[in-house]
Amino acid sequence: MEKYNFAENEINESLENISMINICQINNVESGLPKEEQTIEYLNKKNRVVIYDQALIQDEASPLFVGIPHAGELIPKEILPRIKDTRGFVGGLDCGTAMIFSPREGENYIAARDMVSRLVADPNRGPRQFQSGTQAVGGVTWKTNLQEQPIYKEGQEPTDEEMAENVDRYYTPYYRALHALAASLHEKMDYKEVLFLDAHSFPGNVDFPKYGLKAVEPKPLFILGNKDYSSASQQITLILQNALIKYMPHKETHPELYEGISDIVAINAPFKGVRNVEYFGYPEEITENISTNMEGENTTMPFKIHAIQLEINMSVFFNDGKYNLERLELVRSIIQKTIAEVGEELKKYQK
């Protein structure tokens, strides 16, 4: 098995300083990133992926780790002249996920967060998916927005060669970070079973023609996707579901969290999810798990990874380009209490 050192692992791509621009700033939309990240002008291998491994360093990491793939607000500055409407990039953001899922001091789980816009290199698509898929908007580099309108000016769309370069520059480092975190939970913490939580949000008040969703229809606050229980057991899914319901504030005290939602939690509808795990490979067996890395080589991980995609209805805390931070912190509290409880429950699964 290829060994990963959680403290010394580095993204080893030759990623030079690339001039970047923040899509929220140029569209007058409130950023969901820490202040020090909002004005980043250059991207390199040191700041390409944000890795939260403090819980590993302190030997306190739970058997749960988080990926935050769609919070990235940066796009290469060089593509700006080719873009028809930069608002399409804002529409692709999973708003609030950086604030909700990034661990703070004392929150004992590990995570990786992508810095680049998903429309440039989407971790939820296959690394060679250069065309829009039949079940999801966009390829690995999006050419149309969520409403399937062109992002680029006519004749200025990315070529296959550019998309392959985007994968090398922006996509592969995120997966290497996830690989390193997953392996470290086994190597350092000696966990035999872990849960990968794929963290997302969706705009509950926007039409999604591709998914058959209408803005006026109420939608759940949380959606859990496990590909019809093929990526995570029913028991672990139920543990997560029950915890989310348990920590949801009562309607009498916080009615604002219940406005316009159909349910607290739904499973596998309309987003079955977990594409992130599909593309770096999740273990099928504890003793023999084969995953394919970006070079097409097989690697073995002798532990089991359950995987669940968690979608949050962002319309509860984000509307008209602005955050309601009080509501966001309420949702964050639900998520953090859930992560802590599920992590403790997962410790019972170790053998």
Q: Kindly report the CATH number assigned to the domain that includes residue 261.
A: 3.40.630.40
* Residue 61 confidence (pLDDT): 97
Q: Are 167 and 161 in contact (CB under 8 A)?
A: no
The pTM of this model reads 0.89
**Residues 146/204, Cβ–Cβ less than 8 Å:** no
DSSP state of 255: G
pLDDT score, position 289: 38
Query: pLDDT tens digits, residue range 193-226?
Result: 999 999 999 988 777 766 667 777 889 999 999 8
In a domain, 267, yes or no: yes
Query: Does any domain span residue 235?
Result: yes
Predicted confidence (pLDDT) per residue in 320-351, tens digit: 999 999 999 999 999 999 999 999 999 998 86
| Number of domains composing the chain | 1
Which one-letter amino acid corresponds to residue 253? Answer: T
Q: Give a yes or no: residue 317 inside a domain.
A: yes
Tell whether 17 is covered by a domain.
no
Q: How many CB atoms lie within 10 A of CB 64?
A: 27
- Report the chain (351 residues): mean pLDDT per 10 consecutive residues: 37 69 96 95 90 96 96 96 93 96 97 96 88 71 86 94 92 89 92 93 78 79 90 93 98 94 88 61 33 40 83 94 97 98 92 65
Q: Which domain holds residue 301?
A: 22-347
- 2 domain residue, yes or no: no
Q: Which two tokens stand for residue 275?
A: 């594409």
Q: Which two tokens stand for residue 10?
A: 């580095």
Please indicate, yes or no, if residue 302 is contained in any of the structural domains: yes
Whether 147 is in a domain gets the answer yes
Token couple for 291: 């995953």
Give the type of residue at 333. S
What is the predicted pLDDT for the residue at 132?
67
**Which ranges in the chain belong to alpha helices (H)?**
23-26, 35-38, 54-57, 87-91, 97-101, 160-166, 172-187, 234-246, 275-280, 325-347
Q: Is the separation of the CB atoms in 206 and 215 below 8 Å? A: yes
In a domain, 130, yes or no: yes
